[in-house]
Amino acid sequence: MDAVAVVTGASSGIGAATAVKLGEAGYRVVLTARRADRLDEVARRITAAGGTAQTHQLDVTDRAAVFAFADSLDRCDVLVANAGGAIGADTIADSSADDWLAMYDVNVLGTLHITQALLPKLIASGAGAIVLMGSTAGLITYEGGGGYAAAKHGTHAFAETLRLELYDQPVRVMVIAPGMVKTDEFAVNRYRGDAEKAAAVYAGVAEPLTDEDVADAVVWSVTRPPHFNVDLMVIRPRAQAAQYKVYRELPPK
């Protein structure tokens, strides 16, 4: 397959798992993130399995760098705009405006930059696919999640608007919205390195979603026929019936 898939935030977690699975599906994968050493590790996994991968150190909040990166590509068939993240779990009364700005910058403006930069190539492919990494936080709010929920609501609004604007173009716009996903870094980063607070998020939940689960959803969506669009796929672990309804097994006495 000559098709090229670009994955942002591909150095770990969902982004890394998605890049590997896209490589297994036959795409030439272009991995981007800020941490070049971690990108190289993921690329080696893809090439060791017989796939094709290249890496590009990139901060999606740097608009000039994003456009320079896009200009360096010969084509782009799939964009997985995965770069994002949450910072803090403070109430709105106590939260930091700087944290809100940082979350908006990467989750919304970073998505804007990479989408604008690659859109001409996605259209030119004749069957482009854009997958935005949303969240159930983009559908419902919760205490302590105001800044992240606002940013992910922005991601979802971005996708819905873009789909309307590209209705006559050969590009699909999709959103994957995971609920509780346990990865190595997301919760730890959110709680500023506090591993104990991060672990408490998943305490008693036998099987939260994994990065592999979300990657499966992404790859399934982009490998549907070009007329088949996944507007929004909400995925949660079975234990999470809703944002506030999570089954947690009691620890042994």
Residues annotated catalytic, as ranges: 148
What is the token pair recorded at 185? 């870094």
CA–CA dist 192, 88 (Å, integer) = 7
- Answer yes or no: are the C-beta atoms of 48 and 97 closer than 8 Å: no
- How distant is the alpha carbon of residue 73 from its chain centre? 21
CA–CA dist 132, 7 (Å, integer) = 10
Q: What does 163-221 look like in DSSP terms, one character per residue?
A: HHHTTTSSEEEEEEEESSB--SSHHHHHTTT-HHHHHHHTTT-S--B-HHHHHHHHHHH
Please name the residue that has the structure tokens 């936080």.
137
- 233 backbone dihedrals φ, ψ, rounded to 5°: -120, 115
CA–CA dist 44, 38 (Å, integer) = 10
Query: C-alpha angle with apex 204: 18 to 9, nearest 5 degrees?
Result: 20
User: Given phi > 0 = left and psi -120 to 50 = alpha, else beta, which region is 131?
Assistant: beta
Q: What does 228-248 look like in DSSP terms, one character per residue?
A: ---SEEEE--TTEEETTEE--
What is the token pair recorded at 205? 């939940």
